[in-house]
Amino acid sequence: MATNLEDPRIIEFDVRTDEMLVNMGPQHPSTHGVLRLVLRTDGEVISEVTPHLGYLHRCAEKIGENLTPRQWIPYTDRMDYLAAMNMNLGWSLVVEKLLDHELSDKAKHLRVIISELGRIASHLVGMGAYGLDLGTFSPFLYAFRERERILDLFEEVCGARLTYSYLTPGGATADLPTGWVDKVEAFLRQLEPIISDYHELLTTNAIFIKRTAGIGIMSAEMAIDYGCSGPVLRGSGVDYDLRRDGEERYTEMYDGYAYEVVVEKDGHYPQDRNYPKVPREAVLGDCWHRFYVRMLEVMQAMDLVEQGIEKYKSASGDWGVPIKLTQRLPKGDVYLETEAPRGQMGFYLVSDGSAIPWRVRARSSCFCNLSVTSELCPGCLIADVPAIVGSLDIVMGEIDR
């Protein structure tokens, strides 16, 4: 029935929206920790996003100036606590650089195995939690199921499941247990067919694609200008990975390993396996591409672990005896960056010649990756903010040091 506009019962409204300030966090589940985002909105549309930090600050760097390098290892665990082995590795390498300490081949291969398993575990959490941010629960459970098996392996190595303190200046706290590498090989055989399930649940899921494709587009120039790194940088098409492009003391760990940096080139990713195709809705630099890079890096890390095991079995030398707890440091300053799961993690150490560093600083990949949210979110909907922040895969322990 047609509406009679002259009917006196019809009241016309002048609908307007008011600008509001909305707090997302610091206890919001989609902020991946104690992060507070202040959203300025016009209705459902975001006009400004301001991240507020500091809720997890623990003075870790200042503590590092009152402990010996080996004593500070447990504090690195608590930076990126989802990739604690990789944090241990970065600090150990910078101390060894100052000491000009060289590791045996066996110790280097051990570190590759451990750090790449840490990368797999970290990306599994990132993948599962990202699905949870966007409203799907099952991938979170599946991802944690596989991650638990990696934590079981780490527990056998060092007795811990989250904060390991295993890789330490001079090598590691102990050699790999007898039969441990066989268990890793069995885990990788079990994980490989499951990867396709993850792609079905998220990567090629129509709803997931609609929530992530074309959202939060970060150009290569923007990623470089903001100092982004890791999967966030490579998801924008920048071919840069410190395992290949970093300092020699770090890249030599990967000498002789066959791998290709996961980044889109000419519209395609490395095609070593039967990867899902990029959906036509996706735009290079969007949330979907940042997620996809992490999924492919899981498969790449599996290959690196397999190669590391073969090299470890035939390598010469010992597993790397830790330096003395109170060993004096030579005077000088050193800086070194590693390719952690979330990007470029750097440590800076200044020594005055005593056993305790004079100055300790850390360069956080997550801090720079988070800073770009103020550029990505304006113009999007409130519901898109968890998709954008989740695609950056931040850990607040690394930002609030």
Domain-located, residue 32: no
Domain-located, residue 108: yes
Indicate the helix (H) or strand (E) that contains 344: strand 343-351
* Tens-digit pLDDT profile for residues 133-175: 888 888 899 999 999 999 999 999 999 999 999 999 998 999 9
Domain-located, residue 161: yes
How far is Cα 401 from Cα 36, in angstroms, rounded to an integer?
Answer: 16
Instruction: Read off the pLDDT of each residue in 343-348 and give the average, rounded to a whole number.
Output: 94
Instruction: Read off the pLDDT of each residue in 262-279 and give the average, rounded to a whole number.
Output: 79
pLDDT at 124: 94
How far is Cα 389 from Cα 49, in angstroms, rounded to an integer?
Answer: 11
pLDDT at 9: 58
Domain-located, residue 166: yes
Domain-located, residue 356: yes
The enclosing domain of 252 has a CATH number of 1.10.645.10
Beta-strand (E) ranges in 25-141?
A: 36-42, 45-52
Instruction: Read off the pLDDT of each residue in 356-379 and give the average, rounded to a whole number.
Output: 92
Q: Could you tell me if 86 and 341 are in contact, meaning their C-beta atoms sit under 8 angstroms apart? A: yes
Q: Could you tell me if 140 and 128 are in contact, meaning their C-beta atoms sit under 8 angstroms apart? A: yes
Strands ordered across the beta sheet of 36-42 = 19-24, 36-42, 45-52
Indicate if the alpha-carbon torsion angle 285, 291, 296, 302 is positive or negative.
positive
How far is Cα 360 from Cα 255, in angstroms, rounded to an integer?
Answer: 29
pLDDT at 7: 57
pLDDT at 33: 78
Domain-located, residue 46: no
Q: How confident is the model at residue 231 (pLDDT cuts 50, 70, 90)?
A: very high
> How are beta strands 36-42 and 19-24 bridged, if at all?
antiparallel
Structurally, the chain folds into a number of domains equal to 1
pLDDT at 1: 47
CA 3 distance to own-chain centroid: 57
Question: Does residue 271 have a pLDDT over 90?
Answer: no
How far is Cα 191 from Cα 272, in angstroms, rounded to an integer?
Answer: 17
Domain-located, residue 28: no
Domain-located, residue 132: yes
Beta-strand (E) ranges in 106-252?
A: 167-168, 171-172
Tell me the residue range of the domain where 288 lies. 59-399
Q: Which residues of 257-272 are buried (b: 16+ CB within 10 A; e: fewer)?
A: bebbbbbbeeeebbee
- Per-residue DSSP letter, 396: H
* Tens-digit pLDDT profile for residues 15-58: 566 788 888 878 777 777 788 999 998 888 888 999 988 888 88
Q: Which amino acid is at 201?
A: L
Q: Select from 22, 64, 23 the least CA-distant residue to 44.
A: 22
Q: How far is CA 151 from CA 46, 130, 187, 220, 381, in A?
A: 39, 20, 12, 35, 37
Q: Is the pTM of this model over 0.85?
A: yes
Instruction: Read off the pLDDT of each residue in 240-251 and give the average, rounded to a whole number.
Output: 92
